[in-house]
Structure 1
Amino acid sequence: MRIVVAHNRYREAQPSGENTIVDAEIAQLTAAGVEVLPFIRSSDEIPTMPKAAKALLPISPIYAPKAQQELSRLLTEHRPDVLHLHNPYPLLSPWVVRTAHKHGVPVVQTVHNYRQVCSSGLYFRDGVICQDCRGRALGVPAIVHRCYRGSRAQSALMATTLAVHRPTWKSVDRFIALTTAVADHLRDYGIPDERIVVKPNAIPDPGQPAPLGEGFLFLGRLSPEKGLDLLLDAWRRHPEGALGPLRIAGDGELRPLVEAAAAERADLSFLGPLDRAGVRAALDASAVVLATSTWHDVLPTVIIEALASGRPVLGTALGGIPYLVGADTPREPAGTGPAAVASAVPGDGRVAPPVGIEAGEAGWVVAPEPAALAAALPVARAGAAALAPAARARYERTFHPDVVTKQLIDIYAGVARTARPA
């Protein structure tokens, strides 16, 4: 099987889990015997582009002529079975879907965010969940609020791009939704069920987990949508030392907030940005991993890393977090939008958590509110040892590369059988 993987890499200065996942997926496919033809562009190329190429950048999200020409040559020469698209912006453009179909090549797209509808891709603005552009032919609110890169002009361009390419997205042969929440987003956009497959990302197996550590770990981008304010507010509601240590690792615009909090309390430490060895050590030292996002976080990779390490997760009931911890029975919690929230899972020897704390197979989810998170912290601390084996089992069954790569190859095979004529 021959697959073109198309992806516009995010800038290396802005760490991207999507870049990491695409690289890992290419390696996993290659190891499984699939011939992968990368069609990769990077936003890091933009500063060194010739002036003529830079002059075309404003229209490239709608139509990137150079990318279409190069892709046409690749498709003509290699005649692949499927084109697998990840991020098309800004140097590829969703037009690559039309180019592939022109050559009779079916298209699969992994949906990493909400950019079919939302110009920023996050459904998040000014510190709160925002879905003002849902159902609109043109995302005027995104323009008014400068949602794309803080620029009204660039927001107008992105909103126009989303309007122009609505038929393009509707023509994609198969969408890969990373979680059940993303599948719901696609259905709301008008994609029929038969063209949606739920398939999460995978991470390499780190091996059998180390013995459970102590306390809590937050590992991720230090930005408003990741819920640092929420976490710190909840943590301060407990006496110092009552919950064991809280370690926070990462970097971002809220770093000063975290550094100040670490200076206030002896039970809170800031680890800064970590390399892979540092991440491994931080996971081993902890008992519970926190995912306190206040937006509909699509698929936080840190949760899969936690499960692979046998660490249960305490998270907010937003986006893909309930799915990842095995707690994605739909229910609408007050004030959180269209979140998927779990029901408790009785019958496995575990004590049902207090009302408002929903138990999943490998962790707990709560409403994104300080009081709810504060109440859940001691529950998670007490229940970590009981859920640790289930966390690792969920990784092996759902997020291991052997499992996920087979799912992806099956998706390719199903789409290739229904390839359209050029």
Structure 2
Amino acid sequence: MKIVVAHNRYREAQPSGENTIVDAEIAQLTAAGVEVLPFLRSSDEIPSMSRAAKALLPISPIYAPKAQQELSRLLTEQRPDVLHLHNPYPLLSPWVVRTAHRHGVPVVQTVHNYRQVCSSGLYFRDGMICQDCRGRALGVPAVVHRCYRGSRAQSALMATTLAVHRGTWRSVDRFIALTTAVADHLRDYGIPDERIVVKPNAIPDPGAPAPLGTGFLFLGRLSPEKGLDLLVDAWRRHPDGALGPLRIAGDGELRPLVEAAAAERADVTFLGPLDRAGVRAAIESSAVVLATSTWHDVLPTVIIEALAAGRPVLGTALGGIPYLVGADTPREPAGTGPAASASAAAPATGPGSPPPASAAAVPAGIVAGEAGWVVPPEPAALAAALPVAAAGAAGLAPAARARYERTFHPDVVTKRLIDVYASIARRG
């Protein structure tokens, strides 16, 4: 099987989980015997572009002529079975879908954010969830609020791009939704069930889990949508030392808030930004990993890393977090076909499957999942859940690792992706 993987890489100065996932997926497919033809562009190319090329940048999200010419040549020469698109902005444009279809090549797109509808891709504005552009032919609120890169002009361009390419997105042959929440987003956009497959990302297997550590770990970007204010507020509702240590790793605009919390309390430690070895060590030192996002976080990779290490997760009931910890209700239709292949990714809730640990002892408002707990994004709810997670971590640790092995291991996820390709591959 021959697959073109198309992706506009985000700038390296801003570490991107999406870049990492695309690189890992290419490696996993290659290891499985798939011939991968990378069609990659990077936003780091923009500063070195010629003056003429830069002059065309404002229209490139709508139509990027150079990318279409180069893709057309690649498709003619290589005759791939499928084109797999990730991020098209700004140097590829969703027009690559039309170019592929013109050559008779079916298209799969992995949906990493909400940018079919939302100009920022986040459904988050001014510290709150925002879905003002849902259902609109043109995202005027995005322009008014400068949602794309803080610029009214660039927001107008992105809103226009989304309007122009509504038909383009609806022509995609198969969408890969990373979680059930993304599948719901696509259904709301008008994509029929039979063209949606729930397939999460995978991360390499770190090996057998180390013995459970102590306390809690927050690992991620220190920005408002990640819920640092929520976490610090909830933590302060317990006496110093009552829950064990809270370690916070990462960097971002809310670093002063974290540093102040660490200075105020002996049980809070700020680890700063970590490399890969530091991330693994921090996870192994903890008993519970936190995912306290206050936006509809699509698929926080740190949760999969936690499960792979046998650490349960306490998170907010937003976006893909309930799905990741096995605390959501699967909504894919049963039967055969693409949606049915997604059912392997859904939490086991039928007869014979293990019940959530200590479900009977969980206070109201806290939902116990297969590999962790989720709560409303409110300080009181999170504060109530912290001691529940501390007490239940050891009991849920084996289930966390088992969920990783069954749902997020590269062997499982790569096979599912190849099955998606096979279901739509060009014949002859």
SS at match of 1:414: helix
Residues 327, 370 of structure 2: 8 Å contact kept: yes
Deviations 1:161-200 (A, max 9, x none): 0000000000000000000000000000000000000000
Matches of 1:331 and 1:387 in 2, distance apart? 25
Deviations 1:310-346 (A, max 9, x none): 0000000000000000001289999999999999xx5
Deviations 1:103-151 (A, max 9, x none): 0000000000000000000000000000000000000000000000000
SS at match of 1:351: helix
Shift of 1:352: 3.2
Residues 4, 38 of structure 2: 8 Å contact kept: yes
SS at match of 1:148: coil
Deviations 1:38-91 (A, max 9, x none): 000000111111110000000000000000000001000100000000000000
Range 321-330 or range 365-374, more displaced: 321-330
Q: 1:331 to 1:189 in 2, by over 3 A?
A: closer
Deviations 1:385-405 (A, max 9, x none): 000000000000000000000
SS at match of 1:340: helix
Matches of 1:341 and 1:276 in 2, distance apart? 32
Range 324-333 or range 263-272, more displaced: 324-333
Q: Does 1:398 align with 2:415?
A: no
Identity %: 91
SS at match of 1:311: coil
Task: Give the alignment of 1:65-104 within 5 angstroms.
Answer: 65-104=65-104
Q: 1:319 to 1:332 in 2, by over 3 A?
A: farther
Residues 245, 268 of structure 2: 8 Å contact kept: yes
Residues 129, 294 of structure 1: 8 Å contact kept: yes
Q: Structure 1: state its 5+ residue gaps.
A: none
SS at match of 1:372: helix
Deviations 1:271-308 (A, max 9, x none): 01111110110011000000000000000000000000
Q: 1:138 to 1:420 in 2, by over 3 A?
A: farther
Matches of 1:371 and 1:342 in 2, distance apart? 35
Counterpart for residue 421 of structure 1: 427
Counterpart for residue 273 of structure 1: 273
Residues 133, 142 of structure 2: 8 Å contact kept: yes
Residues 317, 340 of structure 1: 8 Å contact kept: no
Deviations 1:339-398 (A, max 9, x none): 99999xx57665430000100000000000000000000000000000000000000000
Q: 1:336 to 1:259 in 2, by over 3 A?
A: farther
Q: 1:378 to 1:326 in 2, by over 3 A?
A: same
Shift of 1:215: 0.2
Counterpart for residue 368 of structure 1: 377
Matches of 2:241 and 2:333 in 1, distance apart? 31
Q: 1:396 to 1:342 in 2, by over 3 A?
A: closer
Q: 1:406 to 1:421 in 2, by over 3 A?
A: closer
Q: 1:157 to 1:408 in 2, by over 3 A?
A: same
SS at match of 2:136: coil
Q: 1:154 to 1:336 in 2, by over 3 A?
A: farther
Residues 6, 84 of structure 2: 8 Å contact kept: yes
Q: 1:332 to 1:259 in 2, by over 3 A?
A: farther
The number of residue pairs the alignment matches comes to 417
TM-score (norm 1): 0.95
Task: Give the alignment of 1:31-70 within 5 angstroms.
Answer: 31-70=31-70
Matches of 1:156 and 1:318 in 2, distance apart? 28
Matches of 1:129 and 1:259 in 2, distance apart? 26
Residues 359, 368 of structure 2: 8 Å contact kept: no
Residues 246, 267 of structure 2: 8 Å contact kept: yes
Residues 350, 386 of structure 1: 8 Å contact kept: no
Residues 332, 342 of structure 2: 8 Å contact kept: no
Matches of 1:137 and 1:97 in 2, distance apart? 21
Residues 111, 175 of structure 2: 8 Å contact kept: yes
Matches of 1:337 and 1:399 in 2, distance apart? 21
Residues 327, 359 of structure 1: 8 Å contact kept: yes
Task: Give the alignment of 1:23-172 within 5 angstroms.
Answer: 23-172=23-172
Runs of 4+ in 1 over 6 A off after TM superposition: 330-343
Matches of 1:251 and 1:7 in 2, distance apart? 26
Matches of 1:33 and 1:46 in 2, distance apart? 34
Counterpart for residue 393 of structure 2: 384
Matches of 1:113 and 1:338 in 2, distance apart? 21
Residues 329, 342 of structure 1: 8 Å contact kept: no
Q: Structure 2: state its 5+ residue gaps.
A: 344-354
Q: 1:278 to 1:333 in 2, by over 3 A?
A: farther
Residues 194, 338 of structure 2: 8 Å contact kept: no
Residues 330, 340 of structure 1: 8 Å contact kept: no
TM-score (norm 2): 0.93
